[in-house]
Amino acid sequence: MSNTTPTLACMIGAGIVPKGKSSFIPPGKRNSPENSCSVFKMVSLKTDDNNAILIVQDLLIGNEKNRAIHSSQFLYNLWWYTDKKNLKVEYKDSKGKTRLTAKTTSEICERIGKGEKELSFMAENVDFDNIAFD
């Protein structure tokens, strides 16, 4: 992929913010390197009738476990942009090794989107697989 491929930090910046919230990124963190458009590269996005699979690769080295878990936040925007029933984000470290997959369903995202639940509800309803950290 070329260097002009949109990164997920940019996707989040252009994404939908939950009702009543002004931003996913706290004001003091908006310009930090961790929230720049160079944190995750979108490797691929695959969809079919019911499924959306987003593969992301970390562009930073170190602290992979925390960023892998953090990459699960993209499930909501994946639902928003694709409107698929089954959602999956696969996290690859900076060397391209798959370290974690996060899965949820549209029902969870819909409840957040309707304002019935906070974004933190997502954390309670994500299935993590392939957790592989040294």
DSSP single-letter state for residue 16: P
> For the chain, which residues make up each domain, given as ranges?
8-30+42-129
Within a 10 A sphere around the Cβ of 83, how many other Cβ atoms? 12
Which positions ≥6 away from 63 have C-beta within 8 Å?
A: none
Q: What is the pLDDT of residues 11-70, one digit of tens each?
A: 444 333 333 333 344 444 444 444 444 588 888 999 999 999 999 998 888 888 888 888
End-to-end CA distance of the chain: 28
User: Is the distance from CB of 91 to CB of 98 less than 8 angstroms?
Assistant: yes
pTM comes to 0.72
pLDDT above 60: residue 124: yes
**For helices 74-82 and 106-113, angle between their N-to-C axes, nearest 10 degrees:** 90
